[in-house]
Amino acid sequence: MLEELNLKLDSWMQTDDYKSQLKKQDKYFKSLREFLATFTKDKIESMDIDEYVTGKKNQKAFCYWLEETLEFYGSISGRTTAYEKFVLYYDKRIKDYSFGPKNWKNRKGFGSTKDEIFENVKKSILDVVDATKNNDYERIINNPLNPQFKNKINFLYDYNNQIPIYSNEDLNVILTLFEIPFDKNIDRIYKREKLFVFYKNNGYDQKVSPALFMLFIYSWYGYRAILRTNEKPTIESKAIESFSLVDIKIDDVITSKKEKYKNELKRRIIYNPGSEESKRITGKKAEDIVLEYLKAHAKELDAHNITPWCHGENQDDGKGYDISYLLSNGTEILVEVKGTKADLKGQVYFEMSRNEYNVMKNNPDTYYIFFVNDVNKGNIIQRILAKDVYGEEPIKYKVNFKAMLKDENKTIALNSKELKKSDDKIKD
């Protein structure tokens, strides 16, 4: 898949279409900066209704900016009615402000009068802007504004770190085409995050901007033929809803196998790159499963500001845990993910680095192991609180050594780092 995508993108970058979009980018970036300079927090708080609504031919109105002027950064036009998209608008037919029929389900969430509704709309926009600055996706998800509208606001106020695609259906197709693991039932903002991580991790940020990457996807050189036809791929994703989270206590560390592991320590340990790569893939699958589970069940787990430290722009291998989130009372929960590709039949066995172990022991009441048994076929995540982990034993050791390298005239003592350098010289 990556080979095909790379070929398509490189080919597009040689076309007149790309050159045209590149020129447009400079023009629209000036417009974007003007929009952000205009609609500051203070301006949004103080703007009047005519500075917000569409329908009055005010090309400087907030909604006009998002739907028309800044269409380069993703379209939010379509079948959605004006009141569903913006809550409040100017209806030229009745020559008055309108906020939809009385039976519109979202009307009650904003109020019953024009002034009340407009004030609540402004508060909702400000909430999205603030949540964007704090990477608080759950606040954006729970915000009552239209999904496409609030996701575009989210992009505009953080344009360097997102791909401007807002259609949930399109995101499902794109993630499937790019073979990006996802749960189709999670909110579109998390799907957009997954797409950006993919864009960043595969080096596409070194070739094109997020906006140009979006334009490439929707071009005929990219995937427009698939996105705009009925011949879309089958959306397949691991059903996170099928997973159960079970709290357990470790009574012992595989008592029946203790002797086996002790005996293994006596054997000569040889580094196996294939085995290490297999572990990495298994670990990544387990991390994806747990991360998607936390997002899908954020409300019942009281999980806010879910932050993956195991990949993406926040990646930090020195944390001593893979994911963190906040409870409503401000408590930070630390999550270390472990997984196996085998079915351990109810047993729990995992390895920890010294750093992970120390962080776990220093946070006995807020550090959890999320253990995924059989990442390919299983459906249970076992959650273990740090203070319930005991009976652990070391199975890995750091070894410092010196090797003696014989020269014709002398013997040289080398440490492990120097040995590699010396070996390279010998090969030369």
The pLDDT averaged over each successive group of 10 residues in the chain (428 residues) is 90 95 94 96 95 89 94 85 86 84 63 88 96 91 93 95 94 88 84 91 93 95 84 55 73 45 40 57 83 86 90 78 94 93 75 88 93 81 84 56 50 46 44
Torsions phi, psi for 47 (to 5 deg) = -65, 145
Residues 6 or more apart in contact with residue 353 via CB below 8 angstroms = 320
Percentage helix, strand, coil for the chain under 3-state DSSP, each rounded to 5: 50, 10, 40
425 assigned to some structural domain: no
Task: Indicate if 73 and 142 belong to the same structural domain.
Answer: yes
What is the C-alpha separation between 395 and 259, in angstroms, rounded? 12
**Residue 109 has what pLDDT?**
74
Exposure pattern of 218-235 as b/e (b: 16+ CB <10 Å)?
bbebbbeeebeeeeeeee
Distances (CA, A) of 410 to 64, 70, 297, 332, 402: 80, 73, 66, 58, 16
Q: Is 136 helix (H, G, I), strand (E, B) or coil?
A: coil
Tokens of 24: 């447009």
| Residues 57 and 132 reside in one and the same domain | yes
Query: Does residue 420 form part of some domain?
Result: no
422 is a domain residue? no
For residue 259, what pLDDT is reported?
Answer: 46
Separation of alpha carbons 334 and 329, rounded Å: 15
How much is the pLDDT for 351? 81
Residue 97 φ/ψ, nearest 5 degrees? -75, 145
Q: Is residue 109 part of a domain?
A: yes
- Clarify whether residues 141 and 10 are in a common domain: yes
Give Cα 357 distance to the centre of its chain: 26
Indicate whether 199 and 342 sit together in one domain: no
Is the domain of 207 the same as that of 318? no
Same domain? For 63 and 207 the reply is: yes
58 and 179 both lie in a single domain? yes
- If asked whether residues 223 and 350 sit together in one domain, one would say no
Span between the terminal Cα atoms of the chain, in Å = 39
Query: What does the alpha-carbon distance between residue 247 and residue 21 come to, in Å, rounded to a whole number?
Result: 52
What's the confidence (pLDDT) of residue 401? 52
Residues 55 and 175 in one domain: yes
Residue 139 lies in a domain: yes
Q: Are 210 and 196 in contact (CB under 8 A)?
A: yes
Q: Is residue 233 part of a domain?
A: no
The DSSP letter of residue 232 is P
Contact 294, 302 (CB under 8 A): no
Q: Are residues 284 and 335 in the same domain?
A: yes
Same domain, 286 and 222: no
Same-domain status, 10 and 159: yes
> What does the block give as tokens for 200?
């960043």
Q: pTM higher than 0.85 for the full model?
A: no
Q: Provide the domain limits for residue 206.
A: 2-227
What pLDDT sits at residue 221?
93
* Structure tokens that stand for 128 in this block: 């999205």
The answer to whether the CB of 288 falls within 8 A of the CB of 308 is no
Exposure of 264 in the CB half-sphere (CA atoms within 13 A): 11
Q: Sheet harboring 323-326: ordered strands across?
A: 244-247, 380-385, 367-372, 332-339, 323-326, 304-308
Residue 302 lies in a domain: yes
Domain count, the chain: 2
Domain-located, residue 94: yes
Q: Using CA atoms, how far apart are residues 235 and 379, in angstroms rounded to an integer?
A: 20
Provide the token pair at 52: 């917000």
CATH, residue 271: 3.40.1350
Largest pairwise CA distance in the chain: 101
**What integer pLDDT is reported at residue 387 of this predicted model?**
85
User: Do the Cβ atoms of 50 and 190 come closer than 8 Å?
Assistant: no
